[in-house]
Amino acid sequence: MSNVYVKSEFSPLKRVVLAQSEFSFPSKEDLCNEEFLTEESKDLYRGKDILGKNYKEVFPERQKEWEEERENLKKVLEKYNVEVIIPRLLTDYEKEIGKEDGYSNFFVRDPFFTVGHFLIEGSLRFPHRRNEILPVRNILTKESNENNCLYLSVPKPDISKGEYSEDGPFLEGGDVLVLDKTIFVGRSGLASNKNGVIWLSNMVSKFGYTVVEVPLHHTILHLDCAISLVREGLMIVCEEALLDGIPKQLKSWDKIYVTIEDSSKLATNGLPINENIYITDHEFKCIGDELEKRGVTVEYVDFKISRSFGGSFRCSTQPLLRNDG
């Protein structure tokens, strides 16, 4: 049996990559203009001497809390016998070449993603994230060498029209939700784009998969900031974030609704361990209460520092094995 296969968002989680906690601010631009960050996060940065500096240097106490959050998540995962794999840290050289744009090694969901037996390196829109695959690549190489899977990479983004060309292709794991042979891919203009969706569709359609594009509100970074598939027939959703409404494949599902304000705080970015256990933040106890009414056990982890970067539990993890049996 292969140890690399993802059947769905809620199939029993058995092996997962958990992110490190490294980030440096770019030296040439102000992150306070990023639409997907909350005002609370922007207020934290305003007026601070942060350009070109490591987060740990500017916010040492918050860095410590951030690392503790990830460690607490690891403990919950291991409580349910999930094998947790941690990427290496960035090297001094990798940090040095990332000084202008900034560097990150903090949300492993986006640099690669797993669909069925495919391991796919993504293509990230933000320049400071484009080398985020490097600390995890040795894991992907090892997994592809030892397992019956296909290891592929989205083409490097086109820059013929400048550094911020829209051509891409851009395809980020946070936009990719797997439901057996159906793959939902979000597109807000902030991350994955049309060319990324086309690339994925052309590739996986040859193996019986169908790709469904989901247009998103312009302030929503990824699809997993608008939808969480908890189990077959149950979802958490911010309907306001979905420009064409809930995809037809999910319309009949039982829905726990969240506002776009809570969506921006990562209310839908929880993590199913299986169909009966779900991880979320204490901030979203109202969601946890609704899940428990439906027979789902909820594990709470304080993740406020991680969420301040625009990502939460799903963003911090990337499954290698989610499969029944």
pLDDT number for residue 32? 52
Using one digit for the tens of pLDDT, what is the confidence trace for 60-79?
Answer: 999 999 999 999 999 999 99
- The Cβ of residue 152 has, within 10 Å, a number of other Cβ atoms equal to 14
- For 128-173, the pLDDT digits (tens) are 898 999 999 999 999 999 999 999 999 998 888 876 678 889 999 9
Beta-carbon contacts of 220 under 8 Å, excluding residues fewer than 6 positions away, are 36, 186, 188, 190, 226, 238, 241, 260, 263, 264
What's the pLDDT score for residue 45? 81
Q: What is the pLDDT of residue 59?
A: 94
pLDDT, block means (10 residues), the chain with 325 residues: 93 98 85 64 79 92 98 98 98 91 95 98 91 96 96 92 82 98 96 96 97 96 97 98 98 97 96 98 98 98 96 98 91
Q: Rounded CA gap, 77 and 26, in Å? A: 33
Domain that holds residue 207: 5-322
Residues 50, 266: Cα–Cα separation, whole Å: 24
What's the DSSP call for residue 247? Answer: -
Using a CB cutoff of 8 Å and minimum separation of 24, what contacts does 210-213 make?
A: 210/181, 210/182, 210/183, 211/183, 211/184, 211/185, 212/182, 212/183, 212/184, 212/185, 212/247, 212/249, 213/185, 213/187
* CATH number for the domain harbouring residue 128: 3.75.10.10
Residue 72: per-residue pLDDT = 98
Residue type, 114: T
CB-based contact 166:150 (threshold 8 Å): no
What pLDDT is attached to residue 229? 98
Contacts of 240 (CB under 8 A, 6+ apart): 217, 259, 260, 263
The answer to whether 87 and 142 have CB atoms below 8 angstroms apart is no
Burial, 92: exposed, middle or buried (Cβ in 10 Å; 0-12, 13-18, 19+)?
exposed
The count of domains in the chain is 1
User: pTM of the entire structure?
Assistant: 0.94
Rounded to whole angstroms, the Cα distance separating 104 from 130 reads: 9
Closest CA to 15 of 25, 1, 29: 1
For the beta sheet containing 254-257, the strands, ordered from the edge strand earlier in sequence to the opposite edge, are: 227-231, 234-237, 254-257
Q: What is the pLDDT of residue 30?
A: 62
What is the model's pLDDT at position 50?
A: 87
Report the candidate in 307, 324, 231, 319 with the shortest Cα–Cα distance to residue 267. Answer: 307
**What span, in angstroms and rounded, lies between the C-alpha atoms of 251 and 44?**
39
258, two tokens: 């969240």
Distances (CA, A) of 15 to 42, 51, 86, 96, 254: 34, 37, 11, 32, 28
**Angle, alpha carbons 298-302-303 (nearest 5°):** 110
Strand partners, 272: 278
